Structure formats: C-alpha cells, structure tokens
Structure 1
Amino acid sequence: MLTILLTAIVIINLLFIYTLVKDLIKHKDEVMSEPASTIWTPIAQVIIYFLSTFGISDFAISTALYPKAKWVSMKKLPGTLNTQCVIPVFVMALAYINSISVGVTTLLVCIVCQVIGAYVGPYFVVKLPEKVIKNFVVVGLLVASLLILAGKFNWIPANGTATELTGTKLVLTGLLMFVYGALNNIGIGSYALTMATVYAMGMNPAAAFPIMMGACTFSVSIGSMQFIKLQDYSRKITMMSVFGVIGVLIAVFLVKSLNTQMLQWVVLVVLLYSAVSLFMAGRKESEA
C-alpha cells in the first residue's frame, strides 16, 4: 500500500508539473512582466520552504509577505499560495512518508478527504470578490496565530502516542480534513489545523508531518490544476517555487532539528501584524 501511495504521489505531481509547464509556455510573454521580484522571490522561496519543512506554515508566511511586497494581487493570492507550494510539498511528502510511521488507512482517509475538499474549492474561490478574499485571509492569519498560541500554552494536548485512528475519531478526522482542503483554496493553510487535529485525536505529534504533507501533496496539486485552468494565480511566483526545493533539502538532510520555539514567536508577531494591517487597509477602503 505504501508503494502504491508513493507512486500515486509521483504521478499526480508530474501531472501538475505538465499542466503548469504547458500554461507557462502558452503565456511565456506575460510571465516575466508580473510584479514579483526576480531576485528576491527565489530567496524567499528557499526560506519559506525551509521553515515549512519544520511545520511553520508557508501559507501564513507568504500571506504576510506577498501583499506587503506587492508581488501578487489579493484576488490571485489564494491560487498562488496553492500553486507555489506543490513542488516543495511533493519533496516533503516523499521525505516524511518514508521516514515517519503512521497507519496507512489513517493516511489514506486524510488524503482522500482533503483532496475532495481541495477539488471543489477553486470553483467557488474565483467567484469571490477581492474584499471577501481579504477577509478570509485575515481570518486565516488569526486562526494560525491562535493555534500557535494554543501550542505555546499547552491548550492543545501534544503528548499522544497513537499512529492509527479508528471508528469515530477516524470519521471526524476525515470530515475535518475535507474542510481543511476547502480552506486551502481561500488562503487558509492546513498545517496548523492538521497539527491541532492530530494532537487532539491523541496521535503521536510526529504523525502530523506525513499526514500534513501526504494530504497536501495531493490536495494542493489537484486544487492548483483548477487554479491554473481558471487562470487565477501568479505564474512567476509559481515558476520560481522550484527554488523552495533547496530549502526543503537543506532542512531534511543538513539541518536535522531546528529550535522552532523562538521562530514561532517571531512568526506569531508577523502574522498578527499582517492581520491587523490587512484589516485596517480593508476598513480604509470601505470608508473611502
């Protein structure tokens, strides 16, 4: 089953890469005219996905950075958050599923449910007004901040030992993963939410990583192909996301552990600042 799962991961991501390259070739004259920095975007990708490999949400960091840097419009931000992470998360999934033990049935349920949520999401997101998307992004930043705080103050249990879920817990986790897959498409990352769910279900905290990466590598690739089809993403940022693989490989093979405690406080401050900034900007626009 594990071999079949890994093979499926490779196939779905190769299909995404084919879809992306086809779209980039079709719009090759437009790609480099997009506003994202040719120099700083690759550097940002390395840093973002280095941190993401340790469970610090790439959605949250990118959401805090991109609007400030004016690299992508708020309308195309949700699609970009999804498309840019496909290739780096593909590498993460292969690394974590091979190295951390988690029940195959649990893993498959989480993956399938999140994929279904991710598949239906883009068709609703592209119809949302920019103001609504901005509000969702603010909520996503606040949710990510709250979950970081919950972990800091032990409001969420993180000492479980289970590697497999059954019965009601498995059904509930599947339903939540469906919701997280849909939330990905409006810019609310699923890493922190998945971690909180895994902890609450009494699972070994390490099991969060193969579940997060395994579910995301399917859900974001499938959801992202819809965003590409709907032309609702930044091609330039997504093309440069290949540099994120460098950050993943450094984290997996060179940096075996990272003191994320201080980093989480820094990320928390950045997320709250970004949420307040976006909220205040939205209020000013409404008043104007």
Structure 2
Amino acid sequence: MPDVTTPGAAPPGRRTRWPLLLGLGFGIDFLDTLGIGSFATTTTALKLGKLVKDEDIPGTLNTGHALPTLLEAVLYITVIRVELVTLVSMLAAGAIGAWFGAGIVSRLPRRKIQLGMAVALLVTAVFITLRQLEVFPPGGEALALSGVALLIGVTANLVLGALATLGIGNYAPSMAVVSLLGMNPTAAFPIMMGSAALILPAAAVRFVRSGRYDKPTAIAMTLGGIPGVLVAAFIVKSLSLDAVRWLVVAVLLYTSVLMWLSARNEARAGGLNLATS
C-alpha cells in the first residue's frame, strides 16, 4: 500500500512528546538568544531522544526556529541601536553571501574550514581575555563602523553568510569580528540575529513545501522557543558591558571546541588524520 502520510506529519505510531519538546524549544532558543546557537544543540537533542527521523532533522530545526529567530532579530535591532548604515551593510552582506556563496563554499573542504575557524575563535577568545585582564588596551564601545573598518566588517559578514550554508554557525564568528573591529560586543547581537533572520525563514519555506520536516515537533519547538527568547533577551539587555565581554569569551571557547570536535569526528569517519590531512 502506498505511503499516504501527510507531508510534515509525525510518523505513524509515534506520539508527540509535547512537554519535552516545549522544554527543548525554550531551553535551546534561550541559549540561542545568548549567542550559543541552536542548530548543534537541536540536532543533538533530536538524535539522542530519537524524536525525529534523521532525514527530517534539518527541516525540523529550520522550521522550528524560524519564528523565534525573527523575534530575536526584532528585539535586538530595537533595543541595541547599531548605526543604520553599519547594520544594513552587514545584514545585506550576510544575506548576499548566503544566497550567492552556497555554490562556491559547497565545493570547499568543510573539515578544514572548521579547523581553521576553531583556531581563529580560540585566538580571538584569548585576545579578548587579555583585554579584559588589562594586559592589552580595553575593547571599544562603538556602535558604528566607517571607512576601512566597515569594509572589513562587510567582507567578513559576506564570507560568514556563505559559510553558514555549510552548517557552520555565524554567531561566534560574528562576535569575534565585531570585537576585533573595536565595536561594543553587544553590537554583534542585532547583526548576527538579523543575518540569521534573513536566511532561516527562506530555508523553512522550502522545507515546508517539500514536507521534509516533522510538523508537530517544529510547532512545539516554536511555541516553547518564543518565551525562551524573551527571557534571554531581557538578561542580555540587563548585563553590564564587562559581563557581555565575558559572555562572548565563553561562546567563542565553546564554539571553538565544538568545531574542533566536529572536524575530528568527520576525519575519523573518513579515515583521516587531523595532523597530516
């Protein structure tokens, strides 16, 4: 008998675990709003809990996090007043990079990019830490870029937008770019969330049309994620500048380790040696 399951519907015989999924949505989007990211944590939770078929995970996390990510962008753009030209330029660069860069970066060695990014984030975390400990001059507090700094920022966001199509998150790298350019670290939040908000809904629409997602899980994660975003955004808004800088260091270190482990696992799966490949 042919499969007549409605696209996006849960597989027959599997009950949707609403309390668990609502809690996951809250927790994951809470962390996402702090800059931790949501894709790696969502993928891990869905796989370990066997909540969704593996082939439906990409569509489920894109559809489930689309609205919370839009809310994150609106909140941060409203609350953190990054200068308009800087904000629009960076967001446009990220969107253009994601749109036109997909075909280019898809041919690049993902594992080597992850390793390079892991090292770059680690170095940036050390640099910011030395600033915090006053070994180096303190970081900047600007909410605008101009001239060469703006050109560097736009170029960096263009590259990060393209790399996002490989599944390499842009949150921690965006934090690194903003900090190294001497901006207030809180400026990273509207830039990185705004970039994600331009990319994620478009991807979600494609998955909905194809039916390659788990609809009940996506709905539950959206409903749980929205209050998670609101709570976390209030916390970030209330943090001192010093506390935000330490938060950035924590995110950079976490993401650096995550990328290195991911690259190592891919190398092992392919029978490669990280030291020689």
TM-score by length of 2: 0.70
Q: Does 1:283 align with 2:268?
A: yes
Higher Rg: 2
- Residues 126-160 of structure 1 show CA distances to partners (whole Å, capped at 9, x for unaligned) of x99xxx88x58x938x8468626732552686711
Distance in 2 (CA, whole Å) between partners of 1:72 and 1:167 is: 48
Following superposition, the deviation at residue 286 of structure 1 comes to 5.6
Q: Which of the residues 195, 214, 227 maps onto 1:215?
A: 195
**Residue number in structure 1 paired with 2:231:** 250
Percentage of matched positions with identical amino acids:
30
Structure 2 equivalent of residue 53 of structure 1: 33
Give, in angstroms, the shift of residue 107 of structure 1.
0.8
SS across alignment from 1:186:
coil
Match of residue 150 from structure 1:
124
Deviation, structure 1 residue 85: 2.5
**Does residue 189 in structure 1 map to residue 169 in structure 2?**
yes
Deviations 1:14-37 (A, max 9, x none): xxxxxxxxxxx9625446778985
Deviations 1:178-217 (A, max 9, x none): 2222222322111111111111222111211111122221
Unaligned runs of 5+ in 1: 1-24
Distance 1:268 1:73, change over 3 A: farther
Which residue of structure 2 aligns with residue 106 of structure 1?
A: 86
Aligned pair 1:175/2:155, yes or no? yes
Which stretches in structure 2 are left out of the alignment for 5+ residues? 132-137, 273-277
Structure 2 contact 118–260 (Cα < 8 Å) conserved: no
Call closer, same or farther: CA 1:51–1:30 in 2, change over 3 Å.
closer
Aligned residue pairs total 256
Q: Aligned-pair RMSD on alpha carbons?
A: 4.3
Cα offset for 1:222? 2.6
How far 1:106 moved relative to its partner? 1.0
Partner residue of 1:62 out of 31, 36, 42:
42
1:120 offset after TM fit, Å? 4.3
Give the drift of 1:269: 6.4
TM-score of the superposed pair, with normalisation by structure 1:
0.68
